[in-house]
Amino acid sequence: MNAREYFKKNANIPNLLTLLRLFSVPVYVVLFVDGRKYSALIVFLAACLTDLLDGFLARKLNQITDFGKLVDPFADKVMVLTAMFSMTLGSAEIPPVIPWAATLALLLKEGVMVIGGLVMLRHHIVVYSSLIGKTAHCVFIGALVATYFHDFWIHALPGWPMSLDLILIWLAVALTLYAMVFYIINSIQKAKSLGIIGRAREKASP
């Protein structure tokens, strides 16, 4: 397949929205570094909206492509991780809010998912997103958005040992780690049901 045919095959609205989300990452970074936190938040929310739209349109218009399957989750992870890191590192005009431990937990989960996905793919095993995984992702998005209003939560709820946005962040971390464990267990069970782990053990035995 040449470049023109590949472009024609993948040129559709869902993939365009996916690319738009990916290209919005540097726009977000520039705005955040420049101290325009709420403008960066609008870009982040718009990117989240395209994530919902491209999946819906791909199914509705029957325009699911291999390109979309690969790039869509990648663009989503890059956008969320960028927002997470920005609120962890802060900038010259925006103080950091999210603790490093929460960010490292998200990185751990993403690393396990990527490595596990590649291993499963080698054996032609597909482990689909679980309800807990989707719930954890939604809570993470909501918690991230809440951190942009960190000062508001501190003043709105005085005396709390932890602001509401950070409570949501740690709730999202707990759900994410639970989803990671669920993913690992589900992957192992699938590998066992297909005899992949068993065959490897039999070959290793004398």
Q: pLDDT tens for residues 63-79?
A: 677 666 777 788 888 99
Domain span at residue 118?
A: 99-206
Same domain, 73 and 117: no
Q: Is the dihedral of CA 36, 40, 41, 43 positive or negative?
A: positive
Same domain, 18 and 110: no
What is the tally of structural domains in the chain?
A: 2
Same domain, 32 and 2: yes
Show contacts of 45-49: CB within 8 Å, 24+ apart. Answer: 45/145, 47/21, 47/79, 48/79, 48/141
pTM of the model: 0.81
> Of the candidates 68, 73, 71, which has an alpha carbon nearest to the alpha carbon of residue 10?
68
Structure tokens at 197: 């782990």
Mean pLDDT, rounded, for 135-141: 89
Helix then strand then coil, % of the chain, to nearest 5: 80, 0, 20
- 8-state DSSP, 4: H
Same domain, 108 and 206: yes
Same domain, 35 and 89: yes
Higher pLDDT, 135 or 130: 135
| Lowest-confidence region among 5-19, 48-62, 70-84, 191-205 | 191-205
Are the C-beta atoms of residues 176 and 136 closer than 8 Å to each other?
yes
Same domain, 7 and 108: no
Measured N-to-C along each axis, helices 66-89 and 13-33 cross at an angle, to the nearest 10 degrees, of 10
C-alpha distances in Å from residue 27, one per residue of 22, 32, 65, 185, 196: 10, 9, 26, 38, 45
Higher pLDDT, 14 or 26: 26
Measured N-to-C along each axis, helices 37-60 and 66-89 cross at an angle, to the nearest 10 degrees, of 160
Of 96, 119, 145, the residue that ends a domain is 96
The pLDDT of residue 6 is above 70: no
Same domain, 118 and 175: yes
Same domain, 152 and 108: yes
Of 67, 96, 125, the residue that ends a domain is 96
At residue 25, the pLDDT reads 95
Residue the block writes with tokens 């937990």: 105
